[in-house]
Amino acid sequence: MIFWRKLLYLLPSYRRARERDMQEELESIAALAGPGVIGNKTGVAEQTRAVWGWDWFEHLLADIRYAFRAMRRNPGFTATAVLSLALGIGANTAIFNLMDALMLRWLPVPNPGELVRVNLRAHGGTEVSDSFSYSMATALADRKDIFSGACGFSGASFNIGPRASLHPVSGAYVTGDYYQTLGLNPESGRLLTRADDQPGATLVAVLSDGYWQRQYSRNPGVIGQTIRVNGVPVTVAGVSPSGFTGANVGAVADITLPVAALARIAPEEAVLLGPGNFWLRILARPRSGVSTAQIQAHLAAAWPSIAESTVSHGWPASRRKEITDSTPELVPGGTGYTYLREMFQKPLVVLLGVSLLVLLIACANVASLLLARATARSHEISIRLSIGASRPRLVRQLFTESVLLSLTGAAAGVVLAWPVSRFLLSILSGGENSQFPIVFDLSPNGHVFAFAGATAVFTAVLFGLAPAFRTTSIKDASHTTRYRSRALSALVSGQVALSLTLLIGAGLFVRTLQNLMNVDPGFRREGVLLVDVDGRTEGYQEARLTAFYQDLLQRVRRIPGVVSVSLSGHTPLSGWTWSEAAVPQGQPLPERDNAIFVAAGPGYFATLGTPLLSGREFNEYDTGAEKVAIVNQAFVDRYFHGRNPEGAYLTATVTRPPGTLRIVGVAANVINTGDLRTAPKPTVYVSYAQGQPARATIIIRAAGALSQIAAAVRAELQPAFPSSPLEIGTLAAQVERTVVQERLMANLASGFGALGLALASVGLYGLLSYSVVRRTREIGVRMALGAKQSRVLWMVVGNATRLLLFGVALGVPAAWAASQLVRTMLFGLTPADPAIIAAAILLLCAAGLLAAYLPARRAALVDPMTALRHE
Amino acid sequence: MDLLQGTLDMLVLRTLAAGPLHGYGIAKAIRGSSGELLDIEFGSLYPALKRLEMKGWIAAKWDTSEFNRRAKYYRLTPAGKKQLRREHSKWAEFVLAVGQVMGPAPEGGKP
């Protein structure tokens, strides 16, 4: 009641009416009883307005109005401060925006906080796996005593449309309880259910709302229609709610199919449905009213029987026991799943720390600007204090100015942050033209605005509060001046220390990237095109498939500009791995400790540019009954201790039972798996023609413009693949994708380093200019007494040098401590790399002295007469 | 005589229980009924009136005064009556309690 009446007083018109009423009443009383009765009429009115309860609000409005006027009166000051803050807050907001999208945003489903993901921790180990087999996912979904719903899901890519005009669409395979677990209702039609996820069920798909909009303009008639997925007719069952793009965040699932459909949609991958393939992530909703700890205990107790019934019986007992002995763990799942999180969590946290340093430098800039301005305003403040303004009231007003400055900075920062975070995302996606880009909605949302706002208030406290108290203190002037110049020097030295930390960090990350790019991976990455092909999608099998691939190679070889062509099961650093146990004949096969295997065609090493150390390449005749192999140097070192293994025999699990391979050559080490940091592993190359043909990559070494040759290759090969659009990439891009994280760090750390350096230079420049202006008279006197221009110049430069050296002395240990935190992200150097530290100090001092030169010159050019007349 | 903290509101409510009065009239009435002992300054009475009005315990209306002048008259609302009863019993308890503690005036001092 009273609240609503108070709220009414917020209306200016109502408040004005009450004000008039009050004045009228006071006059009527004065008329009745004489003006003496009322006493101090203004005071009474003021107290009465306080009763209305919004006087603080009116004061705030007055402060804001005053602050705006002050900002307008000093456009130079305002622009410098707002720009500094916009850069600092913008940098933080950009990183935060990405973190928010990647890690913090809930899935758009009801009660996302209830959802959990299931991980599997190896018995007594630190190894945690988040992937499960199809049978495990359905077994978990069956445990209604633990979960009200549980499902498995995985990203996928489908080729949609009639054979002539296929287009690739990113999608997902999900188990039957997916939508029920998430608690979603269809936008149109129906969603998938358990009945759809059965072998032999009618093939149905769910479209995303976005895809429905883009492809079908939200035409409800499409429900019940048939679309072709990988050439197979599938009925559209319905559309998922708008905003929902799958539990695999970052990869939009436009078409979602039940896992069981995989057997007919992609028969060549049907092996995924078996018990030996772990490829689904699990999302589950625990039964309501049960604590996470109870659920966890319940699940742990149930796990051995789930594992027992779902692990392949064909596996060795030790492998089976490993899975049964593992412990299932629950982790929060309301934000969905993305592999990006694991990959970029640490870099983003580090970058947020780095951008915080930039913000601190910006704050120091604004604080020193405010302190310098305090001198100019001391007159105004002392007048206001002497005519009765209270100090808290003045501090509040000065602080309002700071908050307004930083909110303006934050607003500009959010505008800056938006394109920056989009740019960062495109780095993560591996460039603008990647086929399945990482998709996040990066338009600023509530989180981001709240973050920017909180950062603004935090910075205002940081840079505004101390100057506000300082400005209104009524100590004697000389004391204040001394304090100010000392505080300003401390701020500038602090900035120097912070920006040195940033520069050293930037140096470490740039060197790390360079070191990685200089690693010799064992092949020549430039000038190589890669074409992923799978003839099984076109109906070729076995010997016909091998012949089909040979024909493709022949046709590519004829294209002008192609130097050599080969094929292999997979290519280095593609993310694919094949491993088998292999040892020299006569030795026992190890149970774990496998070698890397690559199925390679004739001319493989020549095409990749990998040197053969001895023996020969595979050739067209390596198709017979005697299987041949080429091993790498690491394999020779490991098993042959330097002896030439040519002609020796290997036992390997390439066939069941393990078969024999004759070694015909030794190749140089190649980094096949992991990334450029990984040491080459013992590797066995086998002849592609002697194995079971499946998918393959055609490797083309070309001379000339790769894009033209890629177009020619596409024109030549695409007609042979009417039901799947070909992807043609380059080996260089494939290698580049493994250093995305390092490139991100190198780019951003140097960007922030440059930003910090610029801000610190502006800070130094500002301080020196200010001190030159303040000491104009002193300088004039010195020059009048015979000081030379060079002497004055050196006085200012010496001052700058002192500040710089002090900052460097602070910054080197700070940088050392900070870089310990990123030690594991570095490659080929230690945090205390002397060359980088020296280079950073040099760069910083050069920039600092440049910033000092202008004010120093101005000091040297002071005309003694003018300076003395100045007072 | 100074007022005890918080008693002004109660006094205003009690005074208005007798009938509507304008602001100056309330001050005069309190002075009169206290035997000239309580002299409320109009400057502190007026904000108190506005506070009570805000709380909904009293309501105000422009009317014509005894000398045919316009004045704003305050009257007790039903909520105000309830509040007065509450304050009154609290006050009575308070007087009783303080009286018990203080007892008769101590001897030896001049009354």
Distance CA B32, CA B30 (A): 5
Distance CA A661, CA A650 (A): 5
> What are B63-93's pLDDT values in tens digits?
887 777 888 899 999 999 999 999 999 999 9
Residue B71 in contact with partner chain A when CB distance is under 8 A: yes
Residue A26 in contact with partner chain B when CB distance is under 8 A: yes
Instruction: Give residue A651's Cα distance to chain centre.
Output: 45
With an 8 Å Cβ cutoff, are B42 and A38 in contact?
yes
Among B51, B55, B70, beta carbon nearest to A28:
B70
Instruction: Give residue A24's Cα distance to chain centre.
Output: 65
With an 8 Å Cβ cutoff, are B24 and A29 in contact?
yes
Instruction: Lowest mean pLDDT of A370-384, A705-719, A797-811, B34-48, name the range.
Output: A370-384
Among B54, B65, B71, beta carbon nearest to A51:
B54
With an 8 Å Cβ cutoff, are B47 and A31 in contact?
no
Q: Which residues of B touch A40 (CB under 8 A)?
A: 43
With an 8 Å Cβ cutoff, are A44 and B70 in contact?
no
* Greatest mean pLDDT range, A36-40, A179-183, A618-622, B51-55: A179-183
Among A6, A22, A43, beta carbon nearest to B43:
A43
* Inter-residue contact A365 to A467 (CB < 8 Å): no
Would the pLDDT of A148 be above 80?
A: yes
Would the pLDDT of A262 be above 50?
A: yes
> What are A288-338's pLDDT values in tens digits?
888 888 999 999 999 999 998 888 887 878 888 888 899 999 999 999 998
> What are A411-435's pLDDT values in tens digits?
999 999 988 888 888 877 765 555 5
With an 8 Å Cβ cutoff, are B43 and A38 in contact?
yes
Which of B12, B39, B41, B42 to substitute to test the interface with A, most A CBs within 10 Å?
B42
pLDDT for the residue numbered A54: 73
Residue A40 in contact with partner chain B when CB distance is under 8 A: yes
* Inter-residue contact A283 to A330 (CB < 8 Å): no
Res. A233 pLDDT band, cuts 50 70 90: very high
pLDDT for the residue numbered A1: 59
Q: Which residues of B touch A28 (CB under 8 A)?
A: 22, 69-72
Gap from B29 CA to chain A (nearest CA, Å) = 14
* Inter-residue contact A109 to A285 (CB < 8 Å): no
Which of B50, B64, B70 to substitute to test the interface with A, most A CBs within 10 Å?
B50
Distance CA A735, CA A528 (A): 11
Q: Which residues, including other chains, have CB under 8 Å from residue A163's CB and lie 6 or more apart?
A: A228, A231, A722, A723
With an 8 Å Cβ cutoff, are A28 and B43 in contact?
no
Res. A620 pLDDT band, cuts 50 70 90: confident
Q: Find the mean pLDDT for residues A734-745.
A: 89
pLDDT for the residue numbered A423: 86
With an 8 Å Cβ cutoff, are A51 and B23 in contact?
no
With an 8 Å Cβ cutoff, are B42 and A29 in contact?
yes
Question: What separation in angstroms does the CA of A615 have from each of A65, A625, A709?
Answer: 85, 20, 32
Would the pLDDT of A549 be above 60?
A: yes
Res. A475 pLDDT band, cuts 50 70 90: low
Would the pLDDT of A509 be above 90?
A: yes
> What are A74-117's pLDDT values in tens digits?
888 888 889 999 999 999 999 999 899 888 889 999 999 999 99
Residue A653 in contact with partner chain B when CB distance is under 8 A: no
Residue B63: helix, strand or coil by DSSP? strand
Q: Find the mean pLDDT for residues A35-55.
A: 77
Q: Find the mean pLDDT for residues A632-636.
A: 95
Token couple for A597 = 């295997």
Backbone angles phi, psi at A525, to 5 degrees: -80, -20
pLDDT for the residue numbered A413: 92
With an 8 Å Cβ cutoff, are A2 and B55 in contact?
yes
- Give me the torsion for CA of A268, A269, A271, A276, rounded to 10°: 150
pLDDT for the residue numbered B111: 47
pLDDT for the residue numbered A871: 54
Residue A787: helix, strand or coil by DSSP? coil
Res. A775 pLDDT band, cuts 50 70 90: confident
Distance CA A718, CA A181 (A): 41
pLDDT for the residue numbered A870: 59
Res. A505 pLDDT band, cuts 50 70 90: very high
Q: Which of residues 52-81 of A touch B (CB under 8 A)?
A: 52-53
Gap from B24 CA to chain A (nearest CA, Å) = 6
Res. A517 pLDDT band, cuts 50 70 90: very high
Give the residue on B whose Cα is nearest the Cα of A45.
B47
Instruction: Lowest mean pLDDT of A541-545, A581-585, A721-725, A790-794, name the range.
Output: A721-725
Among B24, B47, B72, beta carbon nearest to A44:
B47
Distance CA A126, CA A122 (A): 7
**Interface size between A and B, measured as CB pairs under 8 A:** 59
* Inter-residue contact A473 to A382 (CB < 8 Å): no
Gap from A16 CA to chain B (nearest CA, Å) = 15
pLDDT for the residue numbered A113: 92
pLDDT for the residue numbered B41: 82
With an 8 Å Cβ cutoff, are A44 and B46 in contact?
yes
pLDDT for the residue numbered A231: 85
> What are A349-379's pLDDT values in tens digits?
999 999 999 999 999 988 888 887 777 777 8
Gap from B32 CA to chain A (nearest CA, Å) = 16
Q: Which residues of A touch B42 (CB under 8 A)?
A: 29, 37-39, 44
pLDDT for the residue numbered A436: 61
Q: How many helices (H) and strands (E) does chain B have?
A: 4, 3
Beta strands in A528-619 (DSSP E): 528-533, 562-568, 579-580, 582-584, 595-600, 612-615
* Inter-residue contact A160 to A228 (CB < 8 Å): yes
> What are A663-719's pLDDT values in tens digits?
999 999 999 988 899 899 999 999 999 988 889 999 999 998 999 999 999 999 999
Residue A37 in contact with partner chain B when CB distance is under 8 A: yes
